[in-house]
Amino acid sequence: MRSMVFDDRELARRFPAGDETIVRAVYERYGRAVHTVAYSIVHDATTAADVVQSTFLNAWRASARFDPDRELGPWLYSIARRQAIDTLRREGRSTPAEPETLDRAESPASLEQTWEAWQVRLAVDQLADDEREVVRLSWFAGLSHPEIAEQLGVPVGTVKSRSHRAHRRLASLLAHVVANQTGDKDVQGTDSAAERARGEHL
């Protein structure tokens, strides 16, 4: 069952039934991206996990009114972002703000930042595991190719080839991000979509 692949429209059409296979498929496709958006806003692993759960619950509750002809991903993104910001605001109200957390609490990540994080996470998730690990070690851990090779126990040439494939793939998957930043901002359209989704489910 886990190997079944559903397209987005099929997932959106069947999501309201709450069938386990479909819920897991939606989570498998978007759960980590929802978590990235949540984490980028709340900056806490436990709270981010709560936001992810609330996002999927709220999405399911509102799913009967979701048009399956629309894209499922941006809709989930908008719910996740709203849920995370609401959580952050609630915690900001109930917890005295410390100076070092005040800015963070007052200024959650921008729409553009979280939308980009969402898209990058979805793209990274499409990489093969070994390619994704090379990208993570390279960009996040800041390791050189020899250091990555040593850590993974593979030749440097292998690291290079994985890195090359991974970056080409990311560039292909995310070319529209550059286009959006240099041309018309499609993310603004997503903002409108997010607002519409907000109105539908909250």
Residues 163 to 192 in contact with another protein, rule: CB under 8 A: 163-164, 167-168, 170-171, 174-175, 177-178, 181
DSSP states along 29-79: HHHHHHHHHHHHHH--HHHHHHHHHHHHHHHHHHGGGS-TTS-HHHHHHHH
Q: Least distance in Å: CB of 38 to another protein? A: 8
Site for another protein in 122-141 (CB under 8 A): 124, 135-136, 138-140
**Nearest-approach distance from CB 106 to another protein, in angstroms:** 18
Task: Encode burial over 50-85: b for 16+ CB neighbours within 10 A, e otherwise.
Answer: bbbebbbebbbebbeebebeeebbbbbbbbbbbbbb
Residue placing its CB nearer to another protein in the complex, 40 or 78: 40
- CA 180 to chain CA centroid, nearest Å: 18
Do the Cβ atoms of 55 and 34 come closer than 8 Å?
Answer: yes
Segment interacting with another protein (CB under 8 A) among 24-32, 72-80, 98-106, 185-193: 24-32
Q: Give the Cα separation of 79 and 70 in Å (integer).
A: 14
Per-residue contact string for residues 82-111; x = within reach of another protein by CB under 8 A: -x--xx--xx--x-----------------
Is residue 195 a contact point for another protein (CB under 8 A)?
no
C-beta of 121: minimal distance to another protein in Å?
A: 6
* Contact between 48 and 42 (Cβ < 8 Å): yes
Minimum CB separation of residue 196 from another protein in Å reads 13
Report the site for another protein in 45-84 (rule: CB under 8 A): 45, 48-50, 52-54, 56-58, 60-68, 83
Burial status of residue 160 (CB atoms within 10 A of its CB: 0-12, 13-18, 19 or more)? middle
**Cβ-based nearer residue to another protein, 36 or 194:** 36
